[in-house]
Structure 1
């Protein structure tokens, strides 16, 4: 892990506070390029940084060798020792001015064309397939961490950060949104790559709607909203978790087009691969 001088990066503006702490737009004083800085304080012991943090950062650095067009570039990693117990780790990413949330908000009425949505989805899935093939789960896919360049190029950001910063996340006041989480995670049943596919489905629907598909206010409320669309899973597919199936009304699946108007038949079928699930949703 590089111990680069933080003087190399001159903060320009605060981009926002995410689940992983404050994010800054900065200028690389050597190249003049704009970058995004994401810092976290990591607890250290007598051996230095936890091996799990070093391993996760090394994996992200290794992905850089592939220079994938749909994945945001990790340009540098800086570690600054703050005390014997704490090290500040700063990840330096390429900076992209706009995320998908902003892109959708700025789209003039009546919204994005089918061709544009198809192109965005193809790029998103290319980036995701690359991450999954390298054993990286995103875990927190949502429009805010899908970046869109002025040329319409999609770049996935914040992948792998959930694992690097997991020890820190409990300390941040930001609540990670529930809206893109699949039922198996809401029910604390399992956590595998299909989690990212569910989130992608939610984002796909949002491209047509220009607003989120499921806006739950709690885990139970989120599940209720999901079951209004896909129906209540049968008893034999309900995982053995603390939350009982009896907490939810007996709902039957409803047509996708009731929720996502303007989607084509093929688009609806693609969405159902993950929402209609056979309900394979509870099987890791």
Structure 2
């Protein structure tokens, strides 16, 4: 009964144009609905959030973030999911429900990897998926957007194998909502500087991409920590404990909290990866974000010349 109530509320809030047909997921950003656009007949994905409003309406930060996402639509990038519409409904004087209407893609990378027959995806297919992922990421970064929450569930794969990045920018739009909601957000793809609560920028997405790259071969996550400290420990078991001079100075967690460990060959953890693939992966998993390869430079790596 509760689910039906939520369904009806969603239908009322997005008006007559969008007809919810199925609940397709939930998570840190609330429930996601598959809906049909009555005007075009196309399926879309609806994602809603409640935002606190001031006396002038929507918070300026939310307006700014949504406007940026809408601006990207004009570029029509093949590896970025499209924001097709935005619906806002005033719930109370202090709260507005904002529903973002995205193009709908049937599966995410997590499902795509799970459905791959044993022994997993061919090397050429992983290379193609990675190239597309990095193309989408280069586009976002060139438009000053840091995804901040890149993981297999946020990478969509069409039936033709086209990769589309989703949920970029949502971390900022939903940050107020997240503070009010008891959600469990996975740490497994978080960069060390985020885990240490240091300052961060576009390199956080490259770290996440490296974790996803390894997972495409392994078919399971490479770092599965249960807390920030545990996650860092799992990372250092692979890349080694960073040198004292590489440890960020603006963090409360000391390097002395971790046992000294040397790095191990990345092929111990991803044995199926090629030498050039291993080299690219290590450049993505550099502890120091300033030494981490950029999305644009990654596309020029020799790994993508392997045939």
Superposition TM-score tier, normalisation by shorter sequence: over 0.9
- The whole-number CA distance in structure 2 between the counterparts of 1:121 and 1:152 is 12
Task: Please show how residues 155-234 of structure 1 align to structure 2 within 5 Å.
Answer: 155-234=164-243
- The whole-number CA distance in structure 2 between the counterparts of 1:283 and 1:34 is 42
State yes or no: 1:249 paired with 2:254: no
Partner of 2:274: 264
Task: Please show how residues 50-61 of structure 1 align to structure 2 within 5 Å.
Answer: 50-61=59-70
Q: Is the 8 A contact 2:132 2:162 kept in 1?
A: yes
Moved over 6 A (4+): none
Which segment is superposed worse, 35-44 or 239-248?
Answer: 239-248
Partner of 2:283: 273
- The whole-number CA distance in structure 1 between the counterparts of 2:279 and 2:15 is 49
Q: Is the 8 A contact 1:105 1:210 kept in 2?
A: yes
- The whole-number CA distance in structure 2 between the counterparts of 1:282 and 1:14 is 41
SS of the residue corresponding to residue 288 of structure 2 reads helix
Q: Which runs of 5+ in 2 are unaligned?
A: 1-12, 293-307
Q: Is the 8 A contact 1:24 1:38 kept in 2?
A: yes
Distance apart, 1:244 and its partner CA:
1.4
Q: Is the 8 A contact 1:21 1:172 kept in 2?
A: no
- The whole-number CA distance in structure 2 between the counterparts of 1:186 and 1:282 is 16
- The whole-number CA distance in structure 2 between the counterparts of 1:182 and 1:43 is 29
The RMSD of aligned alpha carbons is 1.4
Partner of 1:38: 47
Task: Please show how residues 79-158 of structure 1 align to structure 2 within 5 Å.
Answer: 79-158=88-167
- The whole-number CA distance in structure 1 between the counterparts of 2:155 and 2:14 is 29
Q: Is the 8 A contact 1:146 1:154 kept in 2?
A: yes
SS of the residue corresponding to residue 170 of structure 1 reads helix
Q: Which runs of 5+ in 1 are unaligned?
A: none
- The whole-number CA distance in structure 1 between the counterparts of 2:107 and 2:278 is 28
SS of the residue corresponding to residue 6 of structure 1 reads coil
